[in-house]
Amino acid sequence: MTNDWQIFKGNNEVNEKWIKEGSKLPAPPSWRDFNNSESDPKKRRAETFQARPEEVELVNAALYLRRPLLVTGKPGTGKTSLAYAVAYELGLGEVLHWPITTRTTLKDGLYNYDAIGRLQDAKEKDNVDKLGKYLNLGLLDEAIQHLQDVKDKKSKDNLADIGKYINLGSLGTALLPSDKPRVLLIDEIDKSDIDLPNDLLHIFEEGEFEIPELRRIADKLDQVEVQTADKDGKATIKQGRVRCTSFPFVILTSNGERDFPPPFLRRCIRLDIQEPNQEELERIVKAHLQLDDKLSKEADNLIDQFLKKRLNGELATDQLLNAIYLVTNEQSPTDTTKKKLIAEILKYLDS
């Protein structure tokens, strides 16, 4: 016998009932609602973040000192959400997100120059010009001779177009001059190549960088408009140099998988986010499930179960949220199915 909560039944038969009812899934959890413009997941992440007093103090210290905030903690403790909470509360605009991998370099965060794309476009333009010469001269031999004469001129770059091929990365965009700081999230810095933390030191100290491709032509082209990491964003770069006027609020997240060199740590404010206790979990659940009154008995029991299980392995808070959503939903599994499903959702992350 199948439960009413099942949409997919695995019986190799078309679910006529579900199709007749409009093929609509039940309402999603608030943190997974992509269809409601007022329920932007990033905004929800900011609105539901539950900051501890010590986290508030260190965020303010970083804001006052214009120092990056290195946030360490286990997965699912809210390291990333903290950046969105600060941007939301202080009205600092969209968070600039820079995810780090083992192959990430400093230049990836600063800017990208598409030299190949520029070369291809130049060739296409040159082909059009050649065709025009053939048509205008009429004679093949004369056209070939003329193209040979103008070869050197045609090989010169159109400097005015170079900005179309330069895109600032999240770090580069965060360092643009502005009246108020941008929020930059450098996510999972502990996954980086061993050199990246040291490469960031100069940027953190000086708050500026150069784009060599623009510096080389600065005497011929003083200002160039380039693309930024913001959607449809553009910025004008003068003399090939970018220098911030408001140092960005930088959050670097780490899962604690590696140590960082002392010179790097000296330039950061360090925050270690602890796993939430029972009272904090209750607040988190209420915020995400949009509850004003007491939690249901089932939700309380799941929190107790989660805390006991977390003593013996690694669990993330969003696993608890997923489990509570499923068992408290109007259409939910029952009895043995429910117990098995909860056990699967609350699997240890390190197993």
- Model pLDDT, residue 146: 45
- Measured CA to CA, the distance from residue 39 to residue 97 in angstroms comes to 20
AA letter at 183:
V
- Model pLDDT, residue 324: 93
Please enumerate in sequence order all residues whose Cβ is within 8 A of that of 67, keeping only pairs 6 or more positions apart, or say none: 61, 204, 267, 268, 269
- Model pLDDT, residue 39: 62
| Helices of type H across the chain | 16-20, 41-48, 53-65, 79-90, 106-110, 115-137, 140-149, 151-154, 170-174, 196-206, 212-215, 262-266, 278-289, 297-310, 317-328, 335-345
- Measured CA to CA, the distance from residue 302 to residue 306 in angstroms comes to 6
Instruction: Give yes or no for a contact between 180 and 145, defined as CB atoms under 8 angstroms apart.
Output: no
The ranges of the chain with pLDDT < 70 are 1-3, 36-39, 122-158
Instruction: Give yes or no for a contact between 248 and 95, defined as CB atoms under 8 angstroms apart.
Output: no
pTM of the model: 0.83
For residues 35-56, b (16+ Cβ closer than 10 Å) or e, as one string? eeeeeeeeebbbbbbbbeeebe
- Model pLDDT, residue 26: 85
- Model pLDDT, residue 131: 45
- Model pLDDT, residue 137: 53
